[in-house]
Amino acid sequence: MVRSRKAKRDSNVLAGIGTRPSRKRQGDTPPRKPPVIPKSISDALGIGQSGTNDQPIPQHNYDDFNLFNDPAAAEFIPHRDEPEANPPSIPILGTKFAQESLEYWNAEERRLEKLKWAAIESDMTATYLECQHCTKNWTSQASYLDINIICQCTNTKLVKQTVDLYAQSKVHFQAEIIFCSCMPRPVRLLHYGYIASSPQFPKTAFSIPLLQFHHHLRNETVVASTGFVNALFRFLKSRSDRSNTNMKPKNTKYESLIHDRDLRKQFTQSVDMYQAIILCTKRIYKEGLKLSNAQLLADQCARCFGPAINETKISPQEPDVIIALDGNFQHRHYTRSSKDNPTEEEYPDIFIKPLCMKKNEIIQNSTETQVKDIKITCMSTAKWLLRRLRNAQTVSCQARTALTNLLSRRSSLFPTIRYTHDFLRQQWLVERNSQQKRCHIKEEQKLELGRLLYYEEMAQNVWDQDAEDAEEAILRLREHNTYKKKIEKQRAKIGSEVILNNLEAHKQDQILKIWFTKQEVRDQFLAICEQKRPLDISRRDGRNSSISYNNKTPLLKTLRNQAAKLKTKLENYQKMLSTYSITSPHRSQPENITYPELLKIYFDHTFWNDGLFTNGRETWAIDGDTQYGMRQIAYFDRASEEIRRIGWEVRRVMRWAIDLHNSLYSYLFQLQSQNNEVELQMDLCLVQHPALSSLSGPGKISAAQVIIYEKLVHVLNLQVLWNSNLLEVFQSTPPQDGDGDLKIIWCDQVLSVI
C-alpha cells in the first residue's frame, strides 16, 4: 500500500482546531521589463487582444431572466449539488516567467542590500573596536542607552526614530533613538551597544553581548537561527509577564509582540554583520602588522608551519611538511542551498581564488607523483598530539616485542633462513619492487586459464553422469572438447612459466583453479560492499542512512541474494582448497576463511593477498612468518618516524607561541606609550589602516589596542591550555639542539601568565 503524502480533509468541524492555517500567496512586485517583453509574452500566452472592441455592450433586463434556463450561461455556473471545478492552470510559460522574475528581483534585492552593508562595514568595525575598548567589551555598565554621543549636527538635522532593541534579559519596544545626518544609523546604534538589522533605516537591533554569546555557542555546537530566536523570545516573554500593578501601561500592549513577531531574518542580518566585523578585524590585524605568508600559515597550523630549527632527518629527501586533502565529498547538493555568486574579494585568504584555479591545477598535476602514498592528518590541539604520541609508542612497543620473538627462531619452510632485521627489510624491498613490476596481462591470462580449467572440471562432472538420450551426450562431448581446445590455446599464451617450484602439472592446474575461485569471491565481495554504501550511516542530523525507507526494502532484498551467491562461491573456493591440501599437504597452502569471518574483514586483510599465486617462488609470498615479520618491521619504522615528527611538531608549536607572545607584547607596549598622531604614523602601520580612518587619533589607538590585546589573550590561553600536554610530549620525543633554552623560555612565559 502506498501512503499518500497529502492529508485528507476531515469533515468534522473540530478537526481544524489547532492546525496551522494555509498560507496565502502575496502579490509580488512585477518585474521592471521593457514594454516590448511583457507584450510579447502576453501575446504568446493569449492573454491580451491585439485590437480593441468598440461595439456597445448590450443591455439586458435580468428581473425576469433565469440564468439556469440559458444553456450558454449555465455552463459557467456551478451546480448546487456538485463541487466547483478547479480553476484552469496557469500556462507553463507564464509560470516560468513569474518564477524567474521573482528569483531575479530577490537576488537583486540581496545584492543591493549587501552593497549597502559593505559601504558601512569599515565604519562599523572601527566604531565597534573603539566602543569595545571604552566599555571594556560592554561590561562596564548594564545599559548604554543613556550615553551622550558627541556630534556637531544642529537640532534641525537630528531625527527621532523608534527601534525595537533586544538584549539577553530584556527588550525595549519602540525605544526612541536620536539619529543625526553625519553618522549612519547602524553606526550610531553601536554606541548604544546594539547592532542593527538593516543598513539604512533599522527598526530592529540586537545587543552585542547577545550576538557574542550566539557566536561562541555556534562555534561549539549546532544552533539554528530560528530555534535560537524562538528560545530567546520565550525567555523574554516569561520575564515580561509580571503580576505587579506598577508596570507601565505603554509596555503592556507590546507584550504579545514578543511571541508574535518572526525576527529570524532580522536576527540573521545582525549576525552576518557581526561576522563581517570579526573578519574585518582579522584583515586589519593581518594587513596592519604586515604578516608574511609563512606567519599566516603558522597561525592556521603552528605544528606544520611553525619555525623549524635543528630538526634531524634520516635522509635529505624527507619532507618538512606532509599535506593530505580530505576526501569527504558530498554525493548530492541541494538546489536552493545558495543562489549567491561571491566575488573574488569575498573568498577567504586561505582559499584559492577562482581566477587562479587553472594555474594551480597545472601545478597540482605536475607535482602529483611527488605526493603519492602520503597519509597524515593535521590538527591543532596538544591533546591530539599526545594521543598520537601514545599510539605511536604503543605500536612501536608491540612491534619490538613481536620482532624479538620472531628473531629467535628459523623459518619453517626454509630451515636455512634465520630471521633478522636486514633479511626482513630486504624482503620488504623485494616485494615493493615486485609489485611495481607486476605484469597484469600475464596474471589475467593465468586467471583465464584457471577459469577454463574450473569449468572443464564442472563439465567433466556432468559428463560422468548418465545422459538421458544421445542428443544430450553429444552436447556434453562438444562442450568438453571446446574447453579442451580453449585450454590448450590459453596454455600456449602463458608458456612454460610455473607458479610453484617442483610441482606437478595437475597440481599447478589446481593452484590456478583455486586462484580463479578466490577471484570470484573477491569480485562478489566488492560488489556487495558497493551495494551496501547507501546503507552507511549518514552524516546528516536525524538520518540513519542516505536512502529512504521505500528504497531500502528492495536494496536489502538484493543484498540477501548477493550474499547467497557469495556463500556459494566461497564454498567452491573451500572445496578446491581442501582438495589441494589433501594432494599436497607439505606445500604452502592458500589462506582459508569461514563465511562469518569473511563478512567482517576489510579490503586490507591478509586473506586478499595473492602473493602465493603471482610470486610463488619468493619467500615473502609463501612464508607466513616472513610476511608477519615484514609487517612488524613496517610498523616499527612507521612508529619511529611518527615519534620523530611529533617531536618536530611540538617544538614548532612552542617556538611559534613564544615568538608571537613576544611580538604582541612589544606591539601593545608601543601602543600604550604613544602620545600623538605623528608618532603613530612613524611607528605602527596598524593604527594608520584605512579601515580605521573614521576614528580620531585616540580612537585609532584604542581600536589597535583591542586588536592586539584579543590576539595576545588568545595566545596566552593556548599556552596555558597546552602547557602540561606539550611538556609531556616534549620530554618523550628525541632531543634536539636548543631544547634547554626553548623549555626555559616556555616555562617562564607560562608562569608569568599563571
Question: For 110-123, what is each residue's pLDDT tens digit?
Answer: 889 989 999 999 99
Query: Could you say which of 284, 316, 346 is where a domain stops?
Result: 284
Segment 407-452, tens digit of pLDDT: 877 877 777 788 888 888 888 888 888 777 766 666 777 777 777 7
Report which residue type is found at 560: R
Segment 320-333 shows an average pLDDT of 60
User: Using CA atoms, how far apart are residues 157 and 180, in angstroms rounded to an integer?
Assistant: 6
pTM, rounded to two decimals: 0.63
User: Using CA atoms, how far apart are residues 609 and 613, in angstroms rounded to an integer?
Assistant: 9
User: Using CA atoms, how far apart are residues 260 and 663, in angstroms rounded to an integer?
Assistant: 52
> Does residue 687 have a pLDDT over 50?
yes
Segment 269-280 shows an average pLDDT of 93
> Does residue 347 have a pLDDT over 80?
no
> Does residue 464 have a pLDDT over 80?
no
Q: Is 29 a domain residue?
A: no
φ, ψ at 313 (rounded to 5°)? -115, 150
Instruction: Work out the pLDDT band at 277, boundaries 50, 70, 90.
Output: very high
pLDDT: is 729 or 475 the higher one?
729
Q: Which residue has the cell 610530549?
A: 729
Kindly state the helix (H) or strand (E) to which residue 515 belongs, with its residue range. helix 505-531
Cβ atoms of 419 and 407 closer than 8 Å: yes
Segment 619-672, tens digit of pLDDT: 777 777 888 888 899 999 889 989 998 998 899 999 999 999 999 999 888 888
Cβ atoms of 175 and 162 closer than 8 Å: yes
φ, ψ at 708 (rounded to 5°)? -70, -40
User: Using CA atoms, how far apart are residues 437 and 205, in angstroms rounded to an integer?
Assistant: 70
Instruction: Report CA-CA distances (Å) from 682 to 291, 426, 672, 687, 708.
Output: 18, 65, 15, 10, 18
Segment 44-79, tens digit of pLDDT: 555 544 444 444 444 444 444 454 455 555 555 555
Q: Is 656 a domain residue?
A: no
The β-bridge partners of 204 are: 164
> Does residue 149 have a pLDDT over 90?
no
Q: Is 462 a domain residue?
A: yes
3-state secondary structure of 545: coil
pLDDT: is 499 or 308 the higher one?
308
Give Cα 637 distance to the centre of its chain.
32
What was the pLDDT predicted at 29? Answer: 46
What was the pLDDT predicted at 50? Answer: 45
Segment 253-278 shows an average pLDDT of 78
Segment 721-733, tens digit of pLDDT: 888 888 888 999 9
User: Using CA atoms, how far apart are residues 417 and 431, in angstroms rounded to an integer?
Assistant: 17
Instruction: Work out the pLDDT band at 489, boundaries 50, 70, 90.
Output: confident
Q: Mean of the per-residue pLDDT values for the chain?
A: 76
Query: Could you say which of 258, 284, 310 is where a domain stops?
Result: 284
3-state secondary structure of 304: helix
> Does residue 393 have a pLDDT over 80?
yes
Q: Is 369 a domain residue?
A: no
What was the pLDDT predicted at 273? Answer: 94
Q: Is 535 a domain residue?
A: yes
What was the pLDDT predicted at 502? Answer: 55
Contacts of 427 (CB under 8 A, 6+ apart): 619, 620, 626, 629, 630
Q: Is 352 a domain residue?
A: no
Q: For residue 472, how many C-alpha atoms fall within 13 Å in the half-sphere facing its CB?
A: 9
The three-point CA angle 245-250-254 to 5° equals 100
What was the pLDDT predicted at 682? Answer: 43
Instruction: Work out the pLDDT band at 4, boundaries 50, 70, 90.
Output: very low
- First-residue to last-residue Cα distance in the chain: 69
User: Using CA atoms, how far apart are residues 255 and 173, in angstroms rounded to an integer?
Assistant: 9
> Does residue 251 have a pLDDT over 70?
no
Q: Is 408 a domain residue?
A: no
Q: Is 326 a domain residue?
A: no
How many structural domains does the chain have? 2
What was the pLDDT predicted at 86? Answer: 58
Query: Could you say which of 591, 622, 653 is where a domain stops?
Result: 622
> Does residue 375 have a pLDDT over 60?
no
Percentage of the chain exceeding pLDDT 90: 18
> Does residue 205 have a pLDDT over 90?
yes
3-state secondary structure of 178: strand
Percentage of the chain exceeding pLDDT 70: 71
User: Using CA atoms, how far apart are residues 733 and 730, in angstroms rounded to an integer?
Assistant: 6
Kindly state the helix (H) or strand (E) to which residue 470 belongs, with its residue range. helix 470-494
What was the pLDDT predicted at 20? Answer: 43
Of 324, 281, 359, 101, give the one whose Cα is nearest residue 706. Answer: 281
Segment 690-713, tens digit of pLDDT: 899 888 888 888 999 999 999 999
* Order of strands across the sheet that contains 171-179: 171-179, 159-166, 204-207, 194-196
- Domain of residue 452 covers 413-622
Cell of 647: 617531536
Q: How many CB atoms lie within 10 A of CB 211?
A: 19
Question: How would you class 392 by CB atoms within 10 Å of its CB: exposed for 0-12, middle for 13-18, buried for 19 or more?
Answer: buried
In this structure, what is the dihedral angle of CA atoms 622, 623, 624, 626, given to the nearest 10 degrees? -130
